[in-house]
Amino acid sequence: MLKTITNRGINLRKNYSQTSSILSLLNDDKLGQHVFIQGWIKALRKQKEVTFLDINDGSTPKSLQIVSSKKNVPKVTVGASVSASGLLKQTAKGQNEVSATSVKMIGECDLEKGYPFAPRKRYEPQYVREYLHLRPRTKTFASVLRLRHAAYLAIHNYLHQNHYINIHTPIITANDCEGAGETFKVVPDNEQLLKNMAKKDVPFDNAYFDTKAYLTVSGQLHLEAAAHALNKVYCFGPTFRAENSISRFHLSEFYMLELEQAFLDDLDDLLDVVEKMIKHVTADLLEHNFSDLETCSQQKIEYSWIDKEFKRIPHEEALDIVTNKLNTTVPARQASLKRMKWR
Amino acid sequence: MLKTITNRGINLRKNYSQTSSILSLLNDDKLGQHVFIQGWIKALRKQKEVTFLDINDGSTPKSLQIVSSKKNVPKVTVGASVSASGLLKQTAKGQNEVSATSVKMIGECDLEKGYPFAPRKRYEPQYVREYLHLRPRTKTFASVLRLRHAAYLAIHNYLHQNHYINIHTPIITANDCEGAGETFKVVPDNEQLLKNMAKKDVPFDNAYFDTKAYLTVSGQLHLEAAAHALNKVYCFGPTFRAENSISRFHLSEFYMLELEQAFLDDLDDLLDVVEKMIKHVTADLLEHNFSDLETCSQQKIEYSWIDKEFKRIPHEEALDIVTNKLNTTVPARQASLKRMKWR
């Protein structure tokens, strides 16, 4: 009976959204058919009779070319959002493009009123960072966001297939996890609320939780408890450190993956879990997000390692490589690794 | 070439872990074979010559029965963890059980030294809540954790299949999202660190971020920026409210799903997204986690609605039902809904 539910699918009033994604159109879905797309203009070339528009809709780093007779195209600029409909066909060079019979403006974009990105120009990260809210409009950052999404989901699915259960360990916690790092404390912002909740033997700031509360630096302790009932568990959520550092090695907030597993007594079994996961997730990204990887990489992507066994060496040997043989440009970090002796 | 990578799979030294999950053994994998399991004793019955052990390993709410001659079983109690190996066979009643040739104690559990759960007894939530770290050992709470994991992943996968991109909107943020609720502020716990970072024109507490920082009450503003480049985006992370309330309607920390989508101008299209998602996720849970749903539910699970169209009514009509016709036991909540007039 349950099989029937999922097999017969979900009935709905209509096949919602007639819009095709640019990813699907570049993959030849609907070649020779009339299509409808919506997206942002990445580049614009006007010829005497014809206008060419490169359109991107966030589904892929690649843009789809729209060709239209000039009279059908409203006054638009790069950065504006448009819809277009027409025939999807292949050019002599094998590129898919839309021969548009209609192009409509959705939202304008005035370059002279401050839109910071000119067409076909690449910007340095420090420039792009000045326009945080527009950052996803750049090709590289959009690919980073798609890759992060894909990698995050691939990790979850890999662990699920291997029977690990995701535990949402608490973000606000009363433990500082064995002093793993500098912590942030959490206090209600509303002073009046704290006054209303005040208790005799509790410090004013702690009135809300009746104890001091921190942002988590690790879900380990909560995971260990869960592992003693569910066996294979993990958490993969935001984690926090309040270090006084603005180096590349510090983030106040980041996502951390932690696994706990009962009944694991062989180091090689544990290393297998890690090696398999890294290879599976990488293979998934190579298969589904290759153009995003190419967009982010300055050089050819090297992935022959995926089919080789990871070398396994004793900790002492690894420490020797890191401290003595590794040609690192990061002296501060190296120094801290040098202190990390095997105990 | 990429296809080859994922098709040939990942080579590893060995097929790690010889342990079978109890879920797989209850599903008839390896029937008639010699198997090895590890888990916790949920119930224990000793007869003259034979001992029966119900073992659970967190992979399912059901336990697997181990039958062993008494002399092969060490001194164990309910709650202890054991390993067992033997032949997986089917009883006359059609139940799978292991005829164990070896049972070994892994970790003992002394009931007299405070383990709070006696075998085959059901406890009220308020009792179980007193033993937070042991809560996942109870059948109901373990099922809740598996269901939460399955539902969370099903939502992510549904959105991924429909080309939504998960954005990790920041947890620590300088905006209070249009005053969506009472906020928590975030401050480094280390006073000396704050002193070191102090700046002339910045209040002492704000020295770390150079501004007041809150825990997020909504990812909406960040999502809207992302939607203007990537089109279909969502976030599904921890969210915080500092209300002074210990009712069932308040959580300081909870997971909230938020979607943003560019180019959506038809309310029915939006309602389709929501209806399809709820039905797909429910169908997924019914298919893969039915015994967990049964464990948590006091009554027969009613899911015939999954195959019907959701009724769509104007907001005024919904408000009328909630305020005048709904037989609710929650007067305070009803009162607040009464104030929620259509503007």
pLDDT of A264 higher than 60: yes
Closest-CA residue of chain B to A132: B225
Query: For the residues A128-149, what does the mean pLDDT come to?
Result: 95
Regions of chain B where pLDDT drops below 70: 1-17, 176-180, 327-343
How many CB atoms are located within 10 Å of the residue A78 CB? 18
Q: Which of A6, A7, A14, A16 to mutate to test the interface with B (most CBs of B within 10 A)?
A: A16
Contact assignment for B225 to A14 by CB distance below 8 Å: no
pLDDT of A331 higher than 70: no
Contact assignment for A142 to B229 by CB distance below 8 Å: yes
Query: For the residues A138-162, what does the mean pLDDT come to?
Result: 97
How many CB atoms are located within 10 Å of the residue B221 CB? 15
Contact assignment for A12 to B142 by CB distance below 8 Å: no
pLDDT of A266 higher than 90: no
pLDDT of A74 higher than 70: yes
Q: Which of A8-22, A226-240, A252-266, B149-163 has the lowest mean pLDDT?
A: A8-22
CB contacts of B244 in chain A (<8 Å) are: 193, 196-197, 208
Comparing CB atoms, the residue among A17, A59, A165 nearest residue B269 is A17
pLDDT of residue B14: 45
CB contacts of A17 in chain B (<8 Å) are: 269
pLDDT of residue A342: 40
- Give A137: exposed, middle or buried? Use CB within 10 Å, 0-12, 13-18, 19+: buried
pLDDT tens for B21-63 read: 999 999 887 899 999 999 999 999 999 999 999 999 999 999 9
To the nearest whole Å, the CA of A149 is away from the closest chain B CA by 5
Contact assignment for B156 to A156 by CB distance below 8 Å: yes
Contact assignment for B238 to A238 by CB distance below 8 Å: yes
| Average of per-residue pLDDT values in chain A | 88
Comparing CB atoms, the residue among A57, A166, A215 nearest residue B152 is A166
pLDDT tens for A35-52 read: 999 999 999 999 999 999
pLDDT of residue B5: 43
Closest-CA residue of chain A to B197: A244
Cα distances from B284 to residues B28, B156, B290, in angstroms, run 22, 12, 9
pLDDT of residue B327: 67
Comparing CB atoms, the residue among B11, B21, B262 nearest residue A309 is B11
CB contacts of A145 in chain B (<8 Å) are: 165, 167, 226, 230
Closest-CA residue of chain A to B303: A5
Q: H helices then E strands: how many in chain A?
A: 10, 11
- Give B108: exposed, middle or buried? Use CB within 10 Å, 0-12, 13-18, 19+: middle
Q: What percent of chain A has pLDDT over 90?
A: 71
**What are the CB-based long-range contacts (under 8 Å, 24+) for B277-282?**
B277/B155, B277/B158, B277/B159, B279/A10, B279/B306, B280/A10, B280/B154, B280/B158, B281/B151, B281/B154, B281/B155, B281/B158, B282/B306
pLDDT tens for A278-324 read: 999 999 999 999 999 999 988 888 899 999 999 999 988 888 887 78
pLDDT of A152 higher than 80: yes
To the nearest whole Å, the CA of B157 is away from the closest chain A CA by 8
| Cα gap A21→A267, rounded to integer Å | 46
pLDDT tens for B117-167 read: 988 788 998 999 999 999 999 999 999 999 999 999 999 999 999 999 999
Query: For the residues A102-126, what does the mean pLDDT come to?
Result: 88
Closest-CA residue of chain B to A193: B244
pLDDT of residue B7: 38
Q: Which of B109, B176, B190 to mutate to test the interface with A (most CBs of A within 10 A)?
A: B190
To the nearest whole Å, the CA of B48 is away from the closest chain A CA by 30
ipTM (interface pTM): 0.90
pLDDT of residue A327: 67
